[in-house]
Chain A
């Protein structure tokens, strides 16, 4: 069975600084996808960034980038130039290539950006 672990329940960062959220996963599949979702206080789940396991290049979306270490089964999210609007709960999620339609989520990391 696949599992996703986020070991940091809460984190905080000063506005304009950089923060990294950690995520590890366990799977025996070779084809899979990884995601970071953001859930602000409104509870609307927003896709932040995605990574295909077959791609070696780390995904980047504006201020958000990932460090994907396939051998270590690690998938961290780096937020640069943190903004107050980044305050939210962040979920790491896994989807097996053989089981599209089903996301497996980590426990989440609550990030607070301080002014």
Chain B
């Protein structure tokens, strides 16, 4: 069974632009969570989606948003990029919200210049 895939793997954007990252969960997994990893703040939870609904949201500004499609694939969007948004963005999937194990994708490395 294929693992979690994330595209693109690397991205360079300019301050003020917006970006969309994609995550395809493991086949059969319906819950997708997103995390931001930076050297200063570590790993921080962004949000979680299940059945196309956002179930949980971390403490991030409204510039960070996401959505989930009927096939469980998820996207996250960051608008008006700031230098501090440079990070590794990790997506994780699990079969459903009641399943506590999460399986991570390889991440998208976003650099904002």
For B, the interface residue count at a CB cutoff of 8 angstroms equals 27
Known: A105-B42, A107-B42. Contact between A100 and B98, CB under 8 A?
Answer: yes
B58 CB within 8 Å of chain A: yes
CB pair A102 B48 closer than 8 Å = yes
Report, as a range, how many residues of chain A touch the other chain: 20 to 34
Contact, CB under 8 Å: B90 / A99: no
Q: Do A101 and B42 form a contact, CB below 8 Å, given A43-B88, A43-B107, A45-B104?
A: no
Q: Determine if B74 is an interface residue (Cβ-Cβ < 8 Å).
A: no
Q: Do A44 and B104 touch (CB < 8 A)?
A: yes
Question: Is B102 in contact with A103, judged by CB distance below 8 angstroms?
Answer: yes
Alpha-carbon distance between A12 and B33 when the two chains are bound, in angstroms:
32
B56 near A105: Cβ-Cβ < 8 Å:
no
Q: Is B31 located at the chain interface by the 8 A CB criterion?
A: yes
In whole angstroms, how far apart are the Cα atoms of A51 and B78 in the complex?
A: 34
- Nearest CB on B from A15, distance (A): 27
B45 contacts partner chain A, Cβ-Cβ < 8 Å: yes
Complex CA gap A3/B104 in Å reads: 21
What chain A residues lie within 8 Å of B107 (beta carbons)?
43-45
